[in-house]
Each structure stands twice: as C-alpha cells, then as structure tokens.
Amino acid sequence: MIPYPLSTGSDCGDPMYSSFHCNTSTGKLSFKTQNGTYNVTTIDQDTFAIQDKDVDHCTRGRLPEFNLSFPFKINACDPVVGNFGSNISSQGLVEIVIGWEPPPEPVCTSSADCEDWPNSTCKNVTGNGKMRCHCNSNFQWNGTALSCVQRGSSRKKKLLSLIEGVTIASVIVLSSIFLYTCILMRKKAKRRESQKNTERNAALMYGTEKRIKNFIDAEELNKEDKKGIDVPFFDLDSILAATDYFSEENTLGRGGFGPVYKILSTLSSISHALKCTHFLFAASNPTDMS
C-alpha cells in the first residue's frame, strides 16, 4: 500500500508526489526520476528504497548527480550486501533510501472531498485555480500529522508540560527542605533539653555536696541545730545482751566499718542490725571487751 501523499495517478495522493507507477500485472511499484525508472524494493510511512547498479552514486562526489525533483530527497545510500554477509556488493547494486517533504493541504474539487480532513474547507486561497482543503480559522495544517490542528495547541501543550514539570519539581524541593528543617529543629530541641537536664543535675549535685561539706566543716552546731538532731544511745551492756556477746551465730556479714550483727530488741521485739565498728572496739575479738 502506498502511503499518502505518494501518488500513482490523479485520483489518489497528491499530484506533487505522482512520481510512481504501479504495474498491475506484476504488482511491482516503480519510481520515475530524471535519471530513469527504478524498482521500489521497500516502502513505509516515511521513506521508500530503490536499487541502482551505479556504485558511484553512493560516493559523496557523485551523489548529487542522482537528480531528484522536489519534494523528494535522498536520506541514505548503501551497497547491497551479497549472500552470507560478504562485504562485496551484490552485482554492484546500491540501495538508495528516499524521503519526502511534508505535503501541503489535500487537493479537492468540492466540500465532499474534505470530509476525510476535519476542520477544513475546500477553497482556492492562492488564486492559482487549484482547490485544496484549507484549514478553518483557529486551525492550521500540519504536514507531519496530516491533519488540521488548533493554532497554538502544540505551544500550549509544551507550555503546560513545562509548567507542570516545574511545579512538581518545586513541590518536591520545598517538601524536602521543609522535612529537613523539621528534623534539624527537632534534633536541636532534644540537644537543648539534654543540656538543660545535665546542667540541672549538675547544679543539684553541686548544691547537695556543698551543703554536706558545709555541715561537715562546721566546727560546732548551734543550739537550735542540736534540737533537731535525734541520735539514739545504747550502753555496752545492752549491746552485749542484744548480740549475745557478739556471737558469730548472729553475724549477718561485714560492712565497711566491721561485722554486722543481728539483735533482738526486747522493747519492741523488732529485729535490728547492729554494726560493730573498729573505732568503738579496739580489740579484734569483740568478746574481749566484756
């Protein structure tokens, strides 16, 4: 099938592209040029290919001698490779790939001919007597798309695409900056809170140590201070009786100042722990104190 605007006669395609001949008996398509007629080997929506025996046509110096009239143009020229992938061209043939310029508005004789071309009207605009399906107002002909497209639609689409891309990129960047700022502020807040807690604990510890040091360093207590201190006093006889003369059976363990004994208070019948310190008893054996 021959794509539009290529033409084999006045009843199909565009007259400007009527350089083709179809042999109905053989079904082969040929292309006519000033140099001669060539068989068309392949054809698609954008290009077609012919073969020529003159290898010099593929050289840069001789290629312009292969004359093509407007609107056709040569896209490529390569030697035809023989069987088994040999580098020797098959019988000296070359394949020439030809393209064409986008066509103008379709030719017409009446409005019915423009039914296949939406948003167009059959009229003579150039005054040369040739009628074509010219696009209506606010539309323009697109030779690549082969249709009437709205004026500025492609620009609008590009502009909208550009605006959309910039907007999405801006949203992503701003969101990233906002998220990073939130994380940074949260880290700073935690760091400040931790520093405040450390300073608060240090101040509390320093104040406690200072109060204890002042209490210890005081040479004597005021009378008012003595009233608030209640220190229990036990004589040696009551201690010996309560510990059964420091019996090992009542030993609970050893502390930093000596052994710790279990005693039974006869007053309240409550078990207590009594620590025997080295500064109270000089003898290593507590029973010697009796």
Q: Would strands 28-32 and 37-43 be described as parallel, antiparallel, or unpaired?
A: antiparallel
d(CA 104, CA 94): 31
Residue 230 is predicted with a pLDDT of 59
Residue 287 is predicted with a pLDDT of 47
Q: Domain map of the chain by residue range?
A: 15-100, 104-174, 236-289
Q: What is the dotted CATH code of the domain comprising 236-289?
A: 3.30.200.20
Residue 16 exposed, middle or buried by CB count within 10 Å (0-12, 13-18, 19+)? middle
- Are 107 and 15 in contact by the 8 Å Cβ rule? The answer is yes
d(CA 110, CA 214): 118
Residue whose tokens read 């000033």: 34
Reduce the DSSP state of residue 203 to 3 states and report it: helix
Considering all CA atoms of the chain, what is the largest pairwise distance in Å, rounded to the nearest integer? 148
Residue 176 is predicted with a pLDDT of 92
- What single string gives the DSSP state of each residue in 34-57? SS-EEEEEEE-SSEEEEEES-GGG
| pTM score over 0.85 | no
Residue 42 is predicted with a pLDDT of 92
Structure confidence by residue, pLDDT tens digits, 247-257: 788 788 777 66
List the structure tokens of 23. Answer: 């042999």
- In this structure, the number of other CB atoms found within 10 A of the CB of residue 264 comes to 14
Residue 283 is predicted with a pLDDT of 38
Does the bond joining 232 to the residue before it have cis omega, within 30 degrees of 0?
no
Residue 43 is predicted with a pLDDT of 93
Residue 125 is predicted with a pLDDT of 79
Name the amino acid, one letter, at 102.
P
- Are 54 and 40 in contact by the 8 Å Cβ rule? The answer is no
Closest to 248 measured CA to CA, from 258, 238, 262, 235: 262
Residue 173 is predicted with a pLDDT of 92
- Are 141 and 105 in contact by the 8 Å Cβ rule? The answer is yes
Cα 184 to Cα 180, 191, 194, distances in angstroms: 6, 11, 15
Hey, which residues does 31 pair with through a beta bridge? 20, 38
Residue 126 is predicted with a pLDDT of 76
Q: Render each residue's pLDDT in the chain as its tens digit; 290 residues.
A: 889 899 888 778 888 898 899 988 888 999 988 878 899 999 999 999 998 876 565 765 555 556 677 889 888 888 876 554 444 445 668 888 999 999 999 999 998 999 999 999 999 877 777 899 999 998 999 998 899 998 875 666 777 888 888 999 999 999 999 999 999 999 988 888 888 888 777 776 666 656 666 665 665 555 555 555 555 666 777 777 777 777 788 788 777 667 877 776 554 443 444 444 433 443 344 444 44
Residue 55 is predicted with a pLDDT of 58
Name the amino acid, one letter, at 13.
G
- Are 157 and 134 in contact by the 8 Å Cβ rule? The answer is no
